[in-house]
Structure 1
Amino acid sequence: MKKGKLVSLLSLLIIVSLIASGCGKTESKSASGENTYYIGISQLVEHPALDDARRGFEDGLKELGVNAKIDYQNATGEIPNTVSIAEKFKKDNVDLIYAIATPAAQSAKQVTSDIPVLFSAVTDPVKSQIVNKWEDVGDNVTGTSDKAPIESQLKMFKQIDDSIKKIGILYSTSEANSEIQIDEVKKLAPNEDLDVVTVGVNNVNEIPQAIDSLLSKVDAIYTPSDNLIASSIELVSTKLIEKQMISVSAEGAHVNNGTLLTNGLNYYELGKQTAEMAKEILVDGKSPSEIPVGIAEKTITTVNIDTLEKLGLDKNLDIFKDAKKVEK
């Protein structure tokens, strides 16, 4: 064979190989002939709420008939890891990135403007500079917010004990989500005749001393949807029970792990809601820019019965009667 023809043949084989491999993207047909989509999941840290958001998303895809190959990556609470994970997904040319928690979403937006990005467990994606507006997101990023119904949650303190005057909040100083929630609590608390005391921590090792200090200054505790605090919520709830301290939480996973009460969203359902957006993008061909940010479609009042009993509270109070009851 002549050299020129050999070079041409080799070039043709390389082109065919690149086309077949999708230039790095794993894309195939299922047994039924449907596309299998390559989805990268970037999760800031493992704790019950974020785990539920991931499980709900994966289960939602299955229920919607979306065939997906999932590459799950856990950033172990380290923000630089979320950047590395996003860069990996960009290099792998995934079909979609699902970013769970604000830092994961911010990093995905920073790394790619081409791959569709869906987020969840983000309190305010506008203030966090993830999207332009709630309704008009712009570009390649949209998703679902875990914005808590803070006003109704603050009302719960007086419904349990009308002598409560001062509530405390323990939070991570590195999480924009927490700062946003604290600003909202401080704005609404005076309407409920409540004062707010906050204590910030930089890492999990500071939590025991910080919670002890905070509990000496307040009548009750509000736990926001803060990833660092959520990862240590069992420790926090144990301290609360020891001090006979009433607690209201931003979301149900905290109550499942020992805090007293919430009127909060269900992260599993929020994940399923985000899966519906994934179908719109991957299967129906919508651009993320066409899909407004979603918020939780329903909230659930949940009470931890074990905690209620250990605090010696009256289970016949109206606020507890119709609540979903869980045990630690």
Structure 2
Amino acid sequence: MYNIGILQLTQNLDDAVNGFKQGLAQQEIAANFHYLNADGNIDLLPDLAIALAQQKVDLIFACSTPSAQAAIELVEHIPVVFTPVFDPVGSGLVNSLALPGGKATGVAGMVPADAKITFIQRLLPAARTLGILYHVNDSNSIAEVENFRKLENSTFTLIEIPIHEAEELSNLPDLLPINLDVLFLPIGRIVEENFATIVYYTDTINIPVITSHAPNVPAGALGALVANHHQLGVECAAKAKEILSGTMPASIPVDTVKIPEILLNDFAAQNLGLNLPADLVAEAKEIFE
């Protein structure tokens, strides 16, 4: 019987935890779970990680980048399996995806930028100008913006819309270029916490919003291409089994999202005067109305 710690930033990641537990059961791994949740307070995570270490856990399953960072900073050499971390290399969790090199591995949660571009093209075939609204101090947002910059794409003109403070969003109509066809929101705390403000203003000027944060779709975004957090948790369980069987996490490659899911909002489409493409409707995991 293993002792496994679960370090979670928010309840929004419950699906990953449930998938991880299901995956362990499928792997026939019996475990006692020590579960600690920071309820969104990042500052609590280091102390919660210490509390898990004091429970003598054999492994920590860390949900979110800050959770994983707090876990690997423990002086104890407790292996860490993480998800749905967007940028494991850029956040300092691993040296590379192929060869992590430390005491952590896992499954990254960022859907590749080229897949998102293709999704936006399919959803909005007439769009030509794509804006990316992001907070300049959010590492996850910066990572995704950089991935978009690297793409050679002839369909969209890419316009970056950086913000430094949440208060700037109250002036969003002045920040958005007049010729904008669609606004993309990378994952990021400031943007997510102020999504209601963003969608209020974009609705008034009839700009569709595509997001990286799944809960934004039922809240008014037109669509998203996202990872299935439950499946990420299941895949993390397989890595946990390797570690518990004696393999060092340093040599276990970090996986990436294999089959992203389509989320659509038909109510938002109707408000924008758009018809959701039939092929995307057929492929969608969920359509909100």
The alignment's TM-score, normalised by the length of structure 2, stands at 0.85
Inter-CA distance 275–210: structure 2 relative to 1 (3 Å threshold)? farther
| 1:275 aligned partner, one-letter code | A
Judge conservation of contact 1:155–1:192 (CA < 8 Å) in 2: no
Structure richer in helix, relative to its length:
1
Kindly state the Cα deviation for residue 162 of structure 1 after the two structures are TM-superposed. Answer: 4.8
In structure 2, the residue matched to 1:9 is none
Of the three residues 107, 127, 139, the one matched with 1:164 is: 127
Kindly state the Cα deviation for residue 307 of structure 1 after the two structures are TM-superposed. Answer: 2.1
Counterpart check, 1:311 vs 2:276: no
| 1:42 aligned partner, one-letter code | L
In structure 2, the residue matched to 1:246 is 208
Counterpart check, 1:94 vs 2:57: yes
Alignment of 1:197-216 (within 5 A): 197-200=160-163, 202=165, 206=167, 209=170, 211=172, 213-215=174-176
In structure 2, the residue matched to 1:31 is none
Deviations 1:131-180 (A, max 9, x none): 11211111311111012121121234444445534433343444311111
Judge conservation of contact 1:109–1:117 (CA < 8 Å) in 2: yes
Kindly state the Cα deviation for residue 183 of structure 1 after the two structures are TM-superposed. Answer: 1.3
| Comparing 89-98 and 314-323, the one that deviates more | 314-323
Larger Rg: 1
| Comparing 158-167 and 170-179, the one that deviates more | 158-167
Separation in structure 1 between the aligned mates of residue 272 and residue 264 of structure 2, nearest angstrom: 12
Separation in structure 1 between the aligned mates of residue 146 and residue 232 of structure 2, nearest angstrom: 24
Secondary structure of residue in 1 paired with 2:151: helix
Secondary structure of residue in 2 paired with 1:123: coil
Judge conservation of contact 1:237–1:258 (CA < 8 Å) in 2: yes
Kindly state the Cα deviation for residue 215 of structure 1 after the two structures are TM-superposed. Answer: 4.8
In structure 2, the residue matched to 1:53 is 16
RMSD: 2.8
In structure 2, the residue matched to 1:294 is 255
| 1:307 aligned partner, one-letter code | A
In structure 2, the residue matched to 1:104 is 67
Judge conservation of contact 2:132–2:158 (CA < 8 Å) in 1: no
| 2:257 aligned partner, one-letter code | A
Judge conservation of contact 1:145–1:296 (CA < 8 Å) in 2: yes
| 1:326 aligned partner, one-letter code | I
Alignment of 1:18-37 (within 5 A): 35=1, 37=2
Secondary structure of residue in 2 paired with 1:192: coil
In structure 2, the gaps of 5 or more residues are none
Kindly state the Cα deviation for residue 185 of structure 1 after the two structures are TM-superposed. Answer: 1.8
Q: How many residues align?
A: 288
Alignment of 1:110-259 (within 5 A): 110-112=73-75, 114-188=77-151, 191-200=154-163, 202=165, 206=167, 209=170, 211=172, 213-215=174-176, 218-231=180-193, 233=195, 236-237=198-199, 239-250=201-212, 252-259=214-221
Separation in structure 1 between the aligned mates of residue 37 and residue 220 of structure 2, nearest angstrom: 25
Secondary structure of residue in 2 paired with 1:195: strand
Judge conservation of contact 1:251–1:265 (CA < 8 Å) in 2: no
Judge conservation of contact 1:255–1:303 (CA < 8 Å) in 2: yes
Secondary structure of residue in 2 paired with 1:294: coil
| 1:309 aligned partner, one-letter code | Q
Inter-CA distance 54–228: structure 2 relative to 1 (3 Å threshold)? farther
Separation in structure 1 between the aligned mates of residue 168 and residue 227 of structure 2, nearest angstrom: 25
Separation in structure 2 between the aligned mates of residue 229 and residue 46 of structure 1, nearest angstrom: 18
Q: Which has the higher contact order (CA 8 A, sep 6+)?
A: 2
Counterpart check, 1:41 vs 2:6: yes
The alignment's TM-score, normalised by the length of structure 1, stands at 0.76
In structure 1, the gaps of 5 or more residues are 1-34
Deviations 1:249-287 (A, max 9, x none): 2354433443212233211111111122112222x2322
Identity within the alignment, %: 29
In structure 2, the residue matched to 1:326 is 287
Separation in structure 2 between the aligned mates of residue 51 and residue 212 of structure 1, nearest angstrom: 35
| Comparing 136-145 and 60-69, the one that deviates more | 60-69
In structure 1, the residue matched to 2:33 is 70
Judge conservation of contact 2:123–2:277 (CA < 8 Å) in 1: no
Separation in structure 1 between the aligned mates of residue 196 and residue 26 of structure 2, nearest angstrom: 32
| Comparing 76-85 and 177-186, the one that deviates more | 76-85
